[in-house]
């Protein structure tokens, strides 16, 4: 696929995420099969898929609210905890309301 036609949400994924998506598709969406391939439990694969879904949603939000998308991305990637992310986002929104 040519780089100029790769969707923005896909560009923001790392190689490990893209590999997971490929395996997921080749397994016809079977989380059980993916768990067997990775040698992990079904809940572990489900968690991985949920994080991947969050990353994709965040990249779609980035155009409208880049700061909020950054904070969410940090939380999803476990660079900051979710409580800190909520506080940062709430304060950002509060400041934006006050500026308007």
For 16-29, the pLDDT digits (tens) are 999 999 999 999 99
User: Which percentage of the chain shows pLDDT scores above 90?
Assistant: 46
Using CA atoms, how far residue 78 sits from 10, 73, 75, 84, 94, in Å, is 20, 8, 5, 11, 24
Q: How far is CA 92 from the centre of its chain?
A: 21
Q: How far apart are CA 39 and CA 34, in angstroms?
A: 8
Condensed to tens digits (0 to 9), the pLDDT of residues 55-82 reads: 888 777 666 788 888 888 888 888 999 8
Cβ contact 52:17 at 8 Å: yes
pLDDT of residue 46: 96
Tokens at residue 48, please?
């991985």
Answer whether residue 38 shows pLDDT above 90: yes
Is residue 41 helix, strand or coil?
coil
pLDDT of residue 3: 53
């Amino acid at each position: 696929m040519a780089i100029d036609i790769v969707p923005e949400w896909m560009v923001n994924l790392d190689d490990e995420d893209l590999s997971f998506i490929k395996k997921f598709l080749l397994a016809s969406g079977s989380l059980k099969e993916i768990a067997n391939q990775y040698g992990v439990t079904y809940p572990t694969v489900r968690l991985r898929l949920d994080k991947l879904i969050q990353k994709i949603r965040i990249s779609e939000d980035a155009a409208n609210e880049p700061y909020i998308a950054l904070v969410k991305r940090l939380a999803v990637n476990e660079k900051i905890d979710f409580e800190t992310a909520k506080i940062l986002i709430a304060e950002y929104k509060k400041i934006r309301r006050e500026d308007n």
